[in-house]
Amino acid sequence: MRFWRWGKRGTRDSRPNYVVRNRESIVLKPVFVETIPQLPEMEDRTLYVSMRFATLSHLCPCGCGRLVDVTLDPATRSLTYDGEYLTLRPSIGVKFPCRSHYSIVRNAIIWYRPISKWEARWYNRVRARWS
C-alpha cells in the first residue's frame, strides 16, 4: 500500500523518504569552534559547529572525503544540543556524486535513500535562494 502521495515524476515528492537500515551506523562527535578549520585539518566523523559564522561543517559521512557545509539559518534549520548530543533538522542532501542524504539525530547519522539528480538540483536551488 502506498501511504504517500505521488508527486510529479522527478520532483522531491515523487518517492518516499524511507530510512536506509542496511548501512553502517556512524556516530559523529560535535566540536564547537570559533572558526571552522581548514579542510586538511578536519577530522573524519567530527562535526564542527561555528556559532559565530552560523555554520556546521563535516566531512561527508559516506567516506568520499568531501566537505559538507551547512548554513545554520534559523528560518530553515534547527539545531539542538544538550551538552552531549546534537540533532540537526531537516535532513541534509548532498549534491556530490555520492548524493548522500542523511540527518543527524543525537550525533548519529540516519541514512535516507540517496537524492536523485533532479533532487540535487532542487536542493541546490533551495540553497541558492536561502543561504
Residues interacting with Zn ion, by CB under 5 A? 60, 62, 64, 98, 100
Nearer to Zn ion, 60 or 108 (CB): 60
Query: CB 40 → Zn ion: shortest distance, Å?
Result: 18
Query: CB 67 → Zn ion: shortest distance, Å?
Result: 10
Nearer to Zn ion, 44 or 73 (CB): 44
- The strand pairing partners of 88, in sequence order, are 79, 104
Nearer to Zn ion, 54 or 60 (CB): 60
DSSP code at position 9:
T
CA distances from 71 to 3, 21, 68, 76, 116 (A): 32, 27, 10, 9, 22
- The strand pairing partners of 105, in sequence order, are 108
